[in-house]
Each structure stands twice: as C-alpha cells, then as structure tokens.
Chains A and B, each alone.
Chain A
C-alpha cells in the first residue's frame, strides 16, 4: 500500500480531466478532505483523485499503511523524552522542584534572581494556558528552563506539527476526538508533565481499536488518576501510618465522570448510588510508585494499593461486584463498555463530529448498532459511517463550523506553510479560548458551532488570516491556495469581494472567508 501511494503521488498529474458525470465524484473528494482531514493541502484533491476515493478512505482507516511524514518523525524524535513512563516524568518534575527550592534557599539575592526568571517562565507558560503551580513553586534557573522546554515546546508543538504535517489525518482527528472524550488538562498540577505520555500511551494506540481498550488504558493511566482525583480515593475510615497523608475518604470525581462522560452519559440510566458504589470499586487506585526499581508496567500505569481499597461487595448498575480487589474495576469496565447507552453516546458523538451538530437519528442508530454488534470496535463504526448515505448527503456538506484548532491547522494546511514558530499558534489558540491540552473541564472541547462561533472570536480569526497571509506573501500564492478552500467552490459574494481586493489581501481574504470558517 505504501508503495502504491508513493507511485500515485508521482503519477497524479497525468490524471485526465473529468467528464461531466464525474463532477459528483469531485464534490465527494472535497467533502472527504474536509471531513476526514484537517483541511486539504494544495495538491490533495489530485492525489485523492488518482488514488481513488475509496482507497483513500481505506488507507486513512489503516494509518500504519501510510508512511509518516519525515517532519513528524523528526519532531517525535526530538521530543521522545515527553513520552516516557509516568514514574520517570513525575520523578524528574519533583527533582526539578527540589533543585529549585534548594537554589532559593542559598541566599535571598540569588532567590530574587530566580524568582525573576520564574516570572519570565510563567509569562511564557501563560501562552500555552498552562497554570503555574503558585508563587512558591516557580521554576527557576536552568532546571526551570529545561522544564519549560519539556512541557511547552514539546507537547503542544508536537500536537500541532502532527495535525498539520501528518498524512495520517484521520488518525490525528480521532486522537483529538478521543483525547477530548477522555479529557485531562495540563492546567492541573502533575498533568502538565504527563499530558504527552497520556496521549501516546492511553489514547493513540486505540483510537480506531476497541472502545474497551481506550476505557481501560485511560482508567489505568496516572494522568487520569490525578486529573479526576481518583489518586485520593480511599476507603472510608482509612487511617494512614503517616499523619501527613491526606488521602482519606471517598472521592467520587472519577467514578462520576466515568459514567457521565466516558460511557453511559448523563441520562444513560445510572443513579447517584451507582456512582458511590463505583467510587468504592475504584478505591486504592492511584499514582505509580515513585521510589525503587519497578517493572515497566508499574512505572507506566496506575498502581493499586490494597490497604486503601474497600473490600466490601458493591452493586453497580444492578450487578454485584464481589470485593476481590484490583480485578473489580475490570468487571465494571467490561459491563459499561458495551452498555447500550454507551453505544448510543459514542454513536452520537461520532456522528456529531463527522456529520452535523445535530446528527440525524437514523445515522446515530446505525453507528450505535455497529458499535454493539462489533463489541465496541471503533474502526467498524467508522466504516459504517463512511458507507452511510448521511455522511455524503449534500445537506450536510460545508455545514460544520471549525473549532479554533481546526481553523488554525487548516490555514497552515491550505497555504502549505511550515510551522516555524509554533508558540504563536499556541498563543492564538489561547486567544480563541481553545488552549492546546488545557481544556479545564473533563468533558473536553466541543465540536459544535454553538461552542465556538462568537463575534470576537470571528474577528480574531480574520485578523489571524490577514496577518498570516500578509507576513508570508512571498511564500504563498492565491491560485495555489484556492482549491484547498472547499475545492475552490466559493459563493458569488465571496468571489466578488476577493476579486476586488488588492492582491496582497487575497489569500488572507480567502482564509478569513465564510467558506473557510466551515468545513
């Protein structure tokens, strides 16, 4: 398959012009590029035409069959440290904090200097929407600098570079989709250093695999344990040997979101009592041990502390879970992963993501049925989606409004510009209210127009489009960019406006046009 794609990309220019009857096929290609990628790049239409639409879709559904971009591979090599085990990442973080505390203690003059640097670091950190840990814990000196690079230049850049450059576009879209479904935020404490590891270890391996695997890998990832406070979740009445131990009592946070957001949905048929019981099942699950040599799996994943676990029996969704320890949660996950409410919720969200903010019910039902019949196989659900009449219905073409991330990534794809200063994109996304990896709430970023269309946001997109294209006017060309904007199909009004604009403004106008806000 890889070879074929390479061959096609050489041969694509020889593809003959299409006869009249093939116009619809061309429209379909534009639609597929809108929905299965972060937006077309110059030349993409021709490539898909040459490859054949179905072959293109099949390849996207099998991402490992597509050669990864060298730019992405380089970026991944440069930032490999970000995706180490949670144990290593947390230990490094703690070490840096200690170094910096020691530095501070040396003398107050030095401390002041450090604090100043800390302020600079914080200033930079605000660009990514990263919340600092507080004045007393400012990173400073060389340690802080390293840390800053590790988190910011690393995690966020890598995400943007992959979204813009990777030819495995559906894989990138699905990664974003599932990350938001199982959201964590680098605004919160340790998740600052765990976010890349979380995406790589818990999300990416399963974005088109079994839903049950995603559910398990997110549940077992320390970043999730920390984000939704299950690391605190301890059986009632637990008395720690260490009086400073703050882990006491039940914390329901994760249990609630596991049912409300990750699986059944708020009206999915569970009660407050189910949440309480599930919280008991989850007692004792927390962060990996930070000391000593531990086997790989233990360094990467959540640990189970039997002393803090409630070994009583529980009843979750009507089923008795015997108090046996670490295995209890697997029984619950097995049950909720294939629950009809989960199937329906996943079907709805995928239909909303790919088709319409208010997705047609017959489509949701079809996706939900495939989910159930396939035992929660995400690739099968996507196949059903791409084979559905709804996905290709004219009614649903060009009707979705881009999220800020989608908009930003698509400007770079449409122009073919390389990302040289990713922090500027990061800053723009923050101004748009969608800082990368920093959605505060566990429900993740939305993919609806209601969430993102607002007057100020639209003005800022227009500014962005204008500045980007004026600053890079030597590198981009209107005729090259045009086909990447909805296949060059623009309304009469937009075309007239662009035609009467000064040449230097044309690309900016294209990227700021109503057509380019939608996909």
Chain B
C-alpha cells in the first residue's frame, strides 16, 4: 500500500467522515489549501471545425476556400487581434479574452496522422498517441499525482459512463443517473425507486464496516452519492436555479460515444460550478460533447455549428461566473480529436483533418492572445494540401497547465504523459 492508498483508506473507511455539504473545507491553520488548484477538460467529440471557431480572417485564402461557410467581419465575426476572429456564437467568452484570461492555441493537436475518430479520440484520451495498448487515461494518471483524496468527489466526470480519459487506477465519480428506468421498463421498475443518495438499508448492514476492498468501495460509493445529493439539494433551495445533476442524461443523446451535444445540456456550466463551489476539494472534472462532425451543411454565422457553439460558450460563461474567485485557480481546456479540412467540401461541410484550435480559460492563462506556429492557408503550407498541420502537440498545452496550474513536478508530468518532451505552446509565429 502506497502513501496515497493508505490515506485514502484512512479517510474513507467509516461511511460518515461527515460529508455534510455545509462543512467548511477551508484550511484555517494558514497552510495552503492542497485542493485549491483545479482543472476542467472539455472534449468535443467528432472533430470541431477550428477554422470556423477561431478564424484566420486576415488570410485572404480563407474566404476563397470557404465560399459558403466562411465567416466575415461584415456578417458578425468578432475581431480578436486584426488577423484572428472569433465565431459570433462565442461572444459570451469575448470578455474573458479581453481581460486576458482566455487564450487559443491554433494548429494544435495529436502528432498521430490518423483521421479516424476512433483512433484520434483514443490517443487524445490515453495521452500516448500511436500506442493502442495504453489502457489508462491521462486524466486518471493526473489524479494519481494529486494530493490524497479527501472528498469522494475529488475527480468527477459528467455523463453516464466513465470515459477512457478518466479510466484507470484512481477513482473518478461519474455523475449521472444510474442503471435504467422510466416508462415501459417493466423489468426494472420505475425510475426513482432508488432516489439518488439512498440505497436500501440492508446493503449498509452487509457492507458497512466490512473489511477489505469491497467494504471500502461501498463506503466510498455511498459517500459520493450522499455528497452529490446533498450538494444538489442545498443548491436547489437557493434562489438561483441550478441544473439538476441528472440534467445531462435526460435529454436526447445524439453524439459519438454517448456524448451529448451542448444543445441538450445547456446547464452544464451551472452544474459544474455548483459542484466545484459546494465541494471545494473537487480538483478535476471532465465533460464531453458530441455532434461536431460537420460533414454536411455546417453553416457559417448561423447554422449547425453556430447552434452547437452557442450553448457551449454560454455554458462556459456560466461556469466562469459560477466559479467566482475560484476561477483564478482554475484552468478550463477545450479540445477536440482533430480539426477539419481547410476547404469546404461539396456538401457545405468539412471533412476530417488534423490541426485544430485548443481553448484555454482561467485566471492563470496567459490570455488575450491567439498562439500557434501558424503558416497560413496556402496549399503548400497545409498538410497534404488539405488541412492544418499539427504544429503544437496538444500535450504541450496540457503539460503547461499541469506544471503551472496543477503544480506538478517534471517527474510527475512524465508519469501523466510518459516519454513526452513538452515544447512551449505559447508562441506566436
């Protein structure tokens, strides 16, 4: 048993360890709060079209190769620095770019050449592109490097299943409704037979104070449920309406690997903010959204992509507002498995490409800039005359957050991304 496991066991063996949501988590002895550093990762599954998110409108080629889906200043594109523009659906994030807490890194992504969603997502989640046999996700390896767990919710994933990026040795709480239920579900009875946070007493009789890992898992699982339930109950009693924990899973599911689109869960920002502020020992969260695979009728200022970006942006703005002062110690990263072709295709959409834009938000972000090793959109400078080359490895951005925001040592970072040599992602070339 290593130190971490020992502490985990010590903290979690009795069910109680008073997980009342009202409890003050602040450290009063003057020591720095070891849980103060936060990281939230949002994965857009399907490959968002980064060239229509942060738009190189200063390059004349842009409108030439995107005659119908290209954006322009005259039709609402928001200017960032005279060369780059922001999709108008992201206007709720513009203030954070202006106050220098939001940055973008363009032509960023995985070094692996695959254009398969499957492989590209897989690599972005395992954090070891090109090696399929790595089974743990990099966020899970990150959690193993964090201070010993105090709350059952130190690391959370919103959604029905634990995605690959969160899987591994460390425990991640998945916040979603359990099993199945609802109408027409005769075999399993009605939803609500087991309210969140409660299980029949007989199980506590069997598992409570049971020695060994089953007993421990039970206490930990029950504690996590109680915690989420009490956070949400408390939040519900307050004037500001807050999303229910189940909000994300109740809507239509229409995306890759079960990820919902942001349209179906516009409340995700409030939901995350509630969890983070009610349980300040939450350090790491993961959310994924699908629907970005815009091969057909992608749209420009309005349309399919715009309709997805709007709730994502507004949700992020809700999250930032909801975090309050906590935003200063938080980094939010938005990424996608690959970008799309520079040219629009014959169906008013774009196909699978490579380099993409990565978003960073947070108090510690060197914001107000669009970074990247950027060569423009001339055919000769594109990858296979088709899409953006990946000039910054996505892991360089993440390792920067791990080092600066999460205060991991070089050695620890190498555990999260084995064998990876990081390069400075914050260049403007």
CB of B221 within 8 Å of the partner chain: yes
CB of A264 within 8 Å of the partner chain: no
Known: A466-B194, A471-B186, A514-B214. A428 touches B253 (CB 8 A): no
CB distance from A471 to the nearest CB of B (A): 4
Which of B177-185, B275-283, B416-424 contacts its partner?
Answer: B177-185
CB of B293 within 8 Å of the partner chain: yes
CB distance from B137 to the nearest CB of A (A): 11
Q: Which residues of B contact A433 (CB under 8 A)?
A: 161-162, 167
Residue of A nearest to B12 (CB): A455
Q: Which residues of B contact A271 (CB under 8 A)?
A: none
Q: How far is the CA of A188 from the CA of B119 in the complex (A)?
A: 9
Known: A135-B293, A455-B218, A514-B206. A442 touches B200 (CB 8 A): no
Q: Which residues of A contact B213 (CB under 8 A)?
A: 449, 453
CB of B233 within 8 Å of the partner chain: no
Is there an interface contact between A132 and B256, defined as CB atoms closer than 8 Å?
A: yes
Residue of A nearest to B184 (CB): A421
Known: A135-B46, A498-B202, A514-B206. A453 touches B214 (CB 8 A): yes
Residue among B181, B218, B258, B291 with most chain A CB within 10 A: B258
Residues of B within 8 Å of A, CB-based: how many? Answer: 66
Q: How far is the CA of A137 from the CA of B256 in the complex (A)?
A: 12
Contact of A471 among B187, B194, B205 (CB under 8 A): B187
Contact of A455 among B160, B202, B221, B293 (CB under 8 A): B221
Interface string of A406-421 (1 = CB under 8 A from B): 0000000000000011
CB of B171 within 8 Å of the partner chain: yes
CB of B72 within 8 Å of the partner chain: no
CB of B380 within 8 Å of the partner chain: no
Q: How far is the CA of A441 from the CA of B252 in the complex (A)?
A: 28
Q: Which residues of A contact B427 (CB under 8 A)?
A: none
Is there an interface contact between A501 and B202, defined as CB atoms closer than 8 Å?
A: yes
Is there an interface contact between A514 and B207, defined as CB atoms closer than 8 Å?
A: yes
Residue among B117, B173, B225, B294 with most chain A CB within 10 A: B117
Is there an interface contact between A456 and B174, defined as CB atoms closer than 8 Å?
A: yes
Contact of A509 among B162, B200, B210 (CB under 8 A): B200
Known: A431-B160, A454-B217. A135 touches B296 (CB 8 A): yes
CB of A23 within 8 Å of the partner chain: no
CB of B344 within 8 Å of the partner chain: no
Is there an interface contact between B202 and A441, defined as CB atoms closer than 8 Å?
A: no
Known: A135-B293, A463-B178, A468-B187. A441 touches B135 (CB 8 A): yes
Interface string of B116-128 (1 = CB under 8 A from A): 1110001000000
Known: A456-B173, A514-B207. A500 touches B202 (CB 8 A): yes
Q: Which residues of A contact B253 (CB under 8 A)?
A: 122-123, 126
A contacts with B: majority SS:
helix
CB distance from A467 to the nearest CB of B (A): 4
CB distance from A233 to the nearest CB of B (A): 14
CB of A512 within 8 Å of the partner chain: yes
Is there an interface contact between A431 and B179, defined as CB atoms closer than 8 Å?
A: yes
Is there an interface contact between B179 and A119, defined as CB atoms closer than 8 Å?
A: no
CB distance from A263 to the nearest CB of B (A): 14
Is there an interface contact between B202 and A505, defined as CB atoms closer than 8 Å?
A: yes
Q: How far is the CA of A445 from the CA of B270 in the complex (A)?
A: 36
CB of B254 within 8 Å of the partner chain: yes
CB of A362 within 8 Å of the partner chain: no
Known: A136-B293, A459-B199, A460-B178. A450 touches B221 (CB 8 A): no
Interface string of A466-483 (1 = CB under 8 A from B): 111011100000000000
Q: Which residues of B contact A463 (CB under 8 A)?
A: 178-179, 194, 199
Is there an interface contact between B118 and A497, defined as CB atoms closer than 8 Å?
A: no
Contact of B185 among A253, A424, A498, A508 (CB under 8 A): A424
Contact of B178 among A431, A470, A494 (CB under 8 A): A431
Is there an interface contact between B118 and A189, defined as CB atoms closer than 8 Å?
A: yes
Is there an interface contact between A134 and B200, defined as CB atoms closer than 8 Å?
A: no
Known: A135-B295, A468-B188. A458 touches B218 (CB 8 A): yes
CB of A363 within 8 Å of the partner chain: no
Q: Which residues of A contact B135 (CB under 8 A)?
A: 441, 443
Interface string of A135-160 (1 = CB under 8 A from B): 11100000000000000000000000
CB distance from B180 to the nearest CB of A (A): 5
Residue of A nearest to B293 (CB): A134
Q: How far is the CA of A460 from the CA of B200 in the complex (A)?
A: 13
Q: Which residues of B contact A119 (CB under 8 A)?
A: 252, 254
Known: A126-B253, A131-B256, A430-B258. A424 touches B193 (CB 8 A): no
CB of A260 within 8 Å of the partner chain: yes
Residue of A nearest to B345 (CB): A136
CB of A513 within 8 Å of the partner chain: yes
Is there an interface contact between A497 and B202, defined as CB atoms closer than 8 Å?
A: yes
Residue among A253, A266, A420, A512 with most chain B CB within 10 A: A512
Within 131-190 of B, Cβ neighbours of A (below 8 Å) are at 132-135, 152, 160-162, 164, 167, 169, 171-174, 176, 178-181, 185-189
Residue of B nearest to A455 (CB): B221
Interface string of B210-233 (1 = CB under 8 A from A): 100111011111101100000000
Q: Which residues of B contact A261 (CB under 8 A)?
A: 133
Q: How far is the CA of A301 from the CA of B363 in the complex (A)?
A: 57
Question: Can you list 9 A-B contacts (CB < 8 A)?
Answer: A126-B258, A261-B133, A421-B187, A433-B167, A454-B217, A457-B217, A496-B205, A497-B203, A501-B205
**Top 8 A-B residue pairs of the complex, sorted by shortest distance between their CB atoms:** A136-B295, A455-B221, A497-B205, A455-B220, A501-B202, A134-B293, A459-B221, A471-B189
**Beyond known contacts A466-B200, A501-B200: 10 more, CB 8 A cutoff:** A136-B296, A428-B179, A430-B160, A440-B118, A455-B220, A459-B221, A459-B224, A463-B179, A471-B186, A505-B200
